[in-house]
A and B are shown apart, each in its own frame.
Chain A
Amino acid sequence: MDRTIITVVGKDCVGIIAKVCTYLAENEVNILDISQTIVQGFFNMMMVVDANACKKSFTEFATELEALGREIGVVIKAQHENIFDSMHRI
């Protein structure tokens, strides 16, 4: 199964997760795992999602998430899981 990694980086504020999750639910993207940490004062969240049921193309999906990030004042990136697997797993 193809999985996508969504990262959200920025200053912590109310409703970040809610807004991202709403967008994902509307687009039939299933969240498999969420973790978060604070790095140098910045809020870092990572979601592992299954976007196979999403009707939008990956490019459209990633662009819309980016725009949503700008709206809430954080940086949101969607990347295919393979880049992390390739780099960190033999």
Chain B
Amino acid sequence: MININEVIETNKMIEQENLDVRTITLGISLLDCIDSDLSELNRKIYDKITTTAKDLVKVGEELERRYGIPIVNKRISITPAALVGAAACKSPADFVELAKTLDKAAHTVGVNFIGGFSALVSKGMTAADENLIRAIPEALAVTERVCSSINVGSTKTGIDMDAVKLLGEIVLQTAEYTKEKDSLGCAKLVVFCNAPDDNPFMAGAFHGVTEGDAVINVGVSGPGVVKKALESVRGADFGTLCETIKKIAFKITRVGQLVAKEASAMLNIPFGIVDLSLAPTPAVGDSVAEILQEIGLEYPGAPGTTAALALLNDSVKKGGVMASSYVGGLSGAFIPVSEDQGMIDAVQAGALTIEKLEAMTCVCSVGLDMIAIPGDTKASTISGIIADEMAIGMINQKTTAVRVIPVIGKNVGDIVEFGGLLGYAPIMPVNQFSCEAFTNRGGRIPAPIHSFKN
């Protein structure tokens, strides 16, 4: 039987170290909603989402009560909208209407985000893909809860540089459309390489075409718990350090697995995966940066940061894999800037630059995330940043992503406040040398040699 010390340990993690289940994300296939008539399509989409997800929030709240652990977000991901809308949406304006339907459905069922206003264009864009991409600035401005992601490359296909060029412009336009809100629209737009089909985390979640009709994916978190555990092994060698992270990652993931199984049973929707992630929030003590500091760095960004992050990421996976029957999504440590107080401090101390963050993305679970840059950054420069990040993903056979926010009207030294889980961020300087002739070339970067495994 469970003993009192184990109970105290678990509750201390929840109450003092910010252990929570970060998200229960319900993936819904909208492929059966496809229609060539736009209003009919919108009606079918609204009906399917509001029917499938009607109990999602209620079940989430019941589970919070039953286990005494916060389930911070209840969310929905859908089939990439470019596929669902291809038959009906003949212009960007049509896709904006589709986005409004998604937003309305999200409000009706009470989820805080709905992901999947997406296109998968790693080898090329269809007319519908391009229309969707061109709809993003307005769609993210007129909706509140819709999140967008575009997959522009993969190890198998290479990188669609036409899409990369276009997205540099789209990111800037999105910033412009939402400039009254500090360009918040860009916080809801992610550009991916090797995007996973089953990622439960926003803004990049979508329900891949390889998935079933509906599926429950769960994202766990708990950087504060890892940090606390590492306090007890200060000065110990790397073997001990990694063992400690593995053990605590196991415990965290088991909670995610439990919640996922229960939610799946209560909603009568199959369980998909647990995403083993360390996802920080702006709350003090809920920071990946603080773990890196506890490992031995004065600030993230100091020499040794990439190695420390690599061992953290790897140990989280090793500990988590055994705790869950199905692991997927992004799985690893997230290193967003604005959502992590320790990262913000590191930027303000001058320890952390975009270039170092780029190096860190080679060994973490995602990429350049929630980084505020000057609003006058050129579209081609943003495309260049995206291309670099996509190349890291393509060559290393991992997921990488870019979510940068060019904040219109702000410059290096200013602070931008996004609010809530999105936090705040100092504007970071961007390399000013031009890459325009590079991003203007057009076409595709071929798939790397090691993708030919057949």
**A interface with B by C-beta (< 8 Å):** 5, 7, 9, 33, 35-37, 39, 44, 46, 48, 58-59, 62, 77-88
Q: Lowest 7 CB-CB distances: which A-B pairs, in order?
A: A79-B68, A83-B67, A86-B258, A86-B254, A46-B4, A84-B2, A88-B6
Q: How far is the CB of B60 from chain A (nearest CB, A)?
A: 13
| CB-based contact A48/B257 at 8 Å | no
Contact-residue size bin, chain B (C-beta under 8 Å from the other chain): 20 to 34
Question: Measured between alpha carbons, how far is A85 from B9 in the docked complex, in Å?
Answer: 12
Question: Measured between alpha carbons, how far is A3 from B70 in the docked complex, in Å?
Answer: 20
Q: List 14 A-B contacts (CB under 8 A).
A: A5-B2, A7-B11, A35-B3, A46-B4, A48-B2, A58-B66, A79-B68, A83-B255, A85-B2, A86-B255, A87-B10, A87-B255, A88-B9, A88-B251
**B interface with A by C-beta (< 8 Å):** 1-11, 62, 65-69, 251, 254-255, 257-258, 262
Q: How far is the CB of A72 from chain B (nearest CB, A)?
A: 19
Looking across the interface, which residue of chain B has its beta carbon closest to that of A32? B1
Chain B facing A: main interface SS:
helix
| CB-based contact A44/B8 at 8 Å | yes
Question: Measured between alpha carbons, how far is A35 from B7 in the docked complex, in Å?
Answer: 11
Question: Measured between alpha carbons, how far is A58 from B67 in the docked complex, in Å?
Answer: 10
Contacts of A39 in B (CB 8 A): 8
Q: How far is the CB of A89 from chain B (nearest CB, A)?
A: 8
Question: Measured between alpha carbons, how far is A30 from B150 in the docked complex, in Å?
Answer: 55
Tell me which of A37, A46, A83 contacts B258 (CB under 8 A).
Answer: A83
| CB-based contact B66/A37 at 8 Å | no
Most buried by B among A5, A35, A59, A84: A84
16 extra interface residue pairs, beta carbon distance < 8 Å, beyond A79-B67, A87-B254: A7-B7, A7-B11, A33-B1, A44-B4, A58-B62, A59-B62, A59-B65, A62-B68, A77-B11, A77-B68, A81-B2, A82-B67, A83-B69, A87-B6, A87-B255, A88-B6
| CB-based contact B258/A82 at 8 Å | yes
Question: Measured between alpha carbons, how far is A77 from B9 in the docked complex, in Å?
Answer: 14
| CB-based contact A79/B254 at 8 Å | no
* Residues A78 and B2 in contact in the complex (CB < 8 Å), given A7-B7, A86-B254: no
Looking across the interface, which residue of chain A has its beta carbon closest to that of B12? A39
Tell me which of A46, A58, A62, A82 contacts B7 (CB under 8 A).
Answer: A46
Contacts of A58 in B (CB 8 A): 62, 65-66
Contacts of B2 in A (CB 8 A): 5, 48, 81, 84-85, 88
Looking across the interface, which residue of chain B has its beta carbon closest to that of A37? B4
Tell me which of B4, B7, B67, B254 contacts A80 (CB under 8 A).
Answer: B67
Q: How far is the CB of B232 from chain A (nearest CB, A)?
A: 16
| CB-based contact B66/A80 at 8 Å | yes
Question: Measured between alpha carbons, how far is A72 from B257 in the docked complex, in Å?
Answer: 35
Contacts of B4 in A (CB 8 A): 35-37, 44, 46
Question: Measured between alpha carbons, how far is A82 from B69 in the docked complex, in Å?
Answer: 12
Question: Measured between alpha carbons, how far is A44 from B8 in the docked complex, in Å?
Answer: 8
Q: How far is the CB of A49 from chain B (nearest CB, A)?
A: 12
Contacts of A84 in B (CB 8 A): 2, 6-7, 10
